[in-house]
């Protein structure tokens, strides 16, 4: 009985190790470059937004409005909102062609806004520095979501191309014509042309790596959580 339990535990460990190994491989091949580019763009937006908000801190009227109207959001509620946002960014890639996930690049603007609001309410320079560091760490997670969403959209687009029915085309006209003439040589050429087109179309028959996307989502949330704690 003990041996059976040990074997089950070993299988689970191997399975988890295998999942992570597959994710790392997939990340390097499909997500790494996208992740880096998205992170750089998001950091630039974050820095520009932070600078813009910070330079307007001398506006006493704006400070009073923020202080009176803004209430602290509970940590769990804020985390829940960000988890939901991360989920939306990734699985917006379900829609082919549109690349809706790129909207997530503007998370940096929202983070910068929240940091300035907290700085106005708390007034601590030390906390301000830590919030900036935490914001950058969160951007690592959100940029991974955007990269994953973009990759998901690329796959969805390929699958749509594969599954779409081709309209009545030139080969169909040729086929009908050669049929009427009983031209076997012509029919053979049309069939060969159709075969080549189908072979080309087969490259769009790709699988959606849902498990990999789930792992990407979990890793993103870990970065967001760490950034929020800081």
Q: What is the mean pLDDT of residues 171-194?
A: 62
Longest dimension (CA), the chain: 88
Q: If you search the block for the tokens 């700085």, which residue do you land on?
A: 119
Output the pLDDT for position 173: 64
More confident residue, 153 or 201: 153
CB contact set of 164 (below 8 Å; sequence gap of 6+): none
What is the Cα–Cα distance from 53 to 223, expressed in whole angstroms? 25
Higher pLDDT, 61 or 39: 39
Residue 48 has pLDDT above 80, yes or no: yes
Which pLDDT belongs to residue 168?
A: 52
Give pLDDT, residue 190: 59
End-to-end Cα separation, the chain, in angstroms: 45
User: Taking a C-beta distance cutoff of 8 angstroms, is the pair 153, 96 a contact?
Assistant: yes
Q: Residue 172 corresponds to which tokens in the numbers above?
A: 């169909």
* pLDDT greater than 50 at residue 2: no
For residue range 111-136, what is the model confidence (pLDDT) as tens digits? Answer: 998 888 888 777 778 888 999 999 99
pLDDT (tens digit, 9 = 90+) per residue, 132-152?
999 999 999 999 999 999 999
| Distance (Å, whole) CA 37 – CA 46 | 14
Scanning the chain, the segments in alpha helix (DSSP H) are 2-26, 32-55, 60-69, 75-91, 107-122, 125-163, 170-181, 184-201, 210-229
Q: What are phi and psi of 164, to 5 degrees?
A: -70, 140
Q: What percent of the chain has pLDDT over 90?
A: 47
- Residue 174: which pLDDT band, with cuts at 50, 70 and 90? low
Confidence of residue 107 (pLDDT cuts 50, 70, 90): very high
pLDDT classification of 1: cutoffs 50, 70, 90:
very low
Rounded to an integer, what distance in angstroms lies between the CA atom of residue 126 and that of residue 132?
10
203-225 tens-digit pLDDT: 777 888 999 999 999 999 999 99
Contact by Cβ (8 Å): 160, 96:
yes
């Amino acid at each position: 009985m003990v041996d059976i339990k040990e074997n089950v535990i070993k299988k689970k460990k191997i399975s988890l190790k295998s999942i992570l190994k597959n994710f790392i491989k997939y990340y390097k091949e499909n997500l790494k470059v996208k992740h880096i580019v998205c992170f750089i763009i998001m950091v630039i937006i974050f820095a520009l937004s932070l600078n813009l908000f910070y330079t307007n801190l001398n506006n006493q009227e704006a400070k009073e409005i923020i202080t009176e109207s803004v209430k602290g959001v509970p940590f769990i509620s804020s985390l829940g909102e960000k988890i939901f946002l991360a989920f939306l960014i990734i699985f917006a890639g379900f829609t082919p062609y549109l690349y809706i996930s790129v909207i997530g690049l503007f998370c940096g603007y929202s983070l910068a806004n929240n940091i300035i609001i907290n700085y106005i309410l708390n007034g601590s320079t030390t906390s301000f520095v830590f919030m900036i560091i935490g914001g950058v760490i969160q951007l690592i997670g959100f940029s991974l979501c955007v990269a994953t969403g973009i990759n998901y959209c690329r796959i969805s687009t390929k699958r749509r191309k594969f599954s779409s029915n081709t309209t009545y085309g030139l080969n169909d006209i040729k086929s009908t014509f050669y049929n009427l003439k009983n031209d076997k040589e012509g029919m053979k050429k049309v069939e060969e042309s159709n075969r080549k087109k189908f072979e080309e179309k087969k490259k769009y028959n790709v699988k959606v790596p849902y498990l990999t996307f789930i792992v990407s989502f979990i890793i993103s949330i870990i970065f967001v959580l760490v950034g929020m704690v800081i």
